[in-house]
Amino acid sequence: MHDERATVVSSTPDAPWLPIGSTAETLLGGSVPRPMGLVRLLVQVDGRLFCTRRDGSGKLDLPTAYVGTDDPDGSVAIAALMRRVTGGGQVPRYLGAVRNTVPRPSPGYDWPTPVAYFGVWTTDADPVVPGEWLHSGPPSVLAERHWFPLLSMGDQ
């Protein structure tokens, strides 16, 4: 389910990290789409982003959680991530998502097909877990992240 009020802020046809013939798009705003594969929490202060280490790769990224199949819009996952990262107390605001459109399932691609979403929510709450603050301005090590185009659009 895609909300037509969302704005496409970037598009990568034939995205090299997806199966052949697939597209990745970054969407700003609208309602929370389904099915959600991952949720991320964006905490930004003075041009710096709060990051934690990714499971598996160890790369720095926004705090992230997997979404269960019984949580199609990620609401349970983002609430749990918010409690873990900030201790709770606030409701995060949905910012946007990356939409993967994969017309044909492919070995090694474990997300729903033909469409899967990876959402980003924001909060003003302070983190209570260990992490690192990284600058979001150029050159940012985070610029390669598929959600990164949302940063320049989120305050408009």
Q: Which of 123, 130, 74, 79 is nearest to 97 (CA)?
A: 74
pLDDT tens for 57-86 read 889 999 999 999 999 999 999 999 999 999
Question: Which pLDDT belongs to residue 93?
Answer: 97
Domain boundaries, the chain: 7-153
| Helix locations, the chain, DSSP H | 75-86, 149-153
CATH 3.30.1300.10 fits 7-153, yes or no: no
Question: Which pLDDT belongs to residue 156?
Answer: 41
Distance, CA of 96 to CA of 117 (rounded, Å): 9
Angle at 31 between CA 78 and CA 41, to 5 degrees: 30
pTM (2 d.p.): 0.93
- Comparison of pLDDT for 155 and 59, the residue scoring more: 59
> Which position has the token pair 């899967």?
116
Q: What is the mean pLDDT of the chain?
A: 92
